[in-house]
Amino acid sequence: MTKYSKWVGLLAAVAVIAVCYQPWIYVPRVSLEIGGMYATGKQNFGRPGLMNCILAGVAMIMFLLPFIWAKRTNIFIVAFNIAWAVRNYILLTKCPMGECPEVKMGLYLLLLASGVMLVMAFIPDVVMKEKK
């Protein structure tokens, strides 16, 4: 699996960026749809997926670099990315005053792709050279 960890991690990072442009939740009472990069309606939810896109872009670069420091830095970046994805899940799926939103598939895919990125960051494909 370590042979393909770079490419699977890269694919998961692309998936995180793509999922940020899909709808994440829908609140039927106020007909409000929230995605990673937009929100319809009068409420200002900002762009909760922007940080995920930035971190996934940096992680893509770190997955491609063949240096040990890049692999170690990537673990921190990807861990922060999954923490931000969990934060988005907690904030967006809460039920204020008993009104729960409909959770769309995009939010679950964000958590899944972020988790795959984390696993692939922990098993990098690094060739160690022996010192003589």
- Full domain range(s) for residue 75: 5-122
In tens, the pLDDT along 14-68 reads: 999 999 999 999 988 888 899 999 888 777 778 889 999 999 999 999 999 989 9
Is the predicted pLDDT of residue 82 greater than 90, yes or no?
yes
Residue 130's pLDDT band, with cuts at 50, 70 and 90, is confident
In this structure, of 86-95, 112-121, 122-131, the range with the lowest mean pLDDT score is 122-131
Radius of gyration over alpha carbons of the chain, in Å? 17
- What is the number of other CB atoms lying within 10 angstroms of the CB of residue 30? 12
110 in Cβ contact with 19 (< 8 Å): yes
In a domain, 101, yes or no: yes
In a domain, 129, yes or no: no
The count of structural domains within the chain is: 1
In a domain, 128, yes or no: no
In a domain, 130, yes or no: no
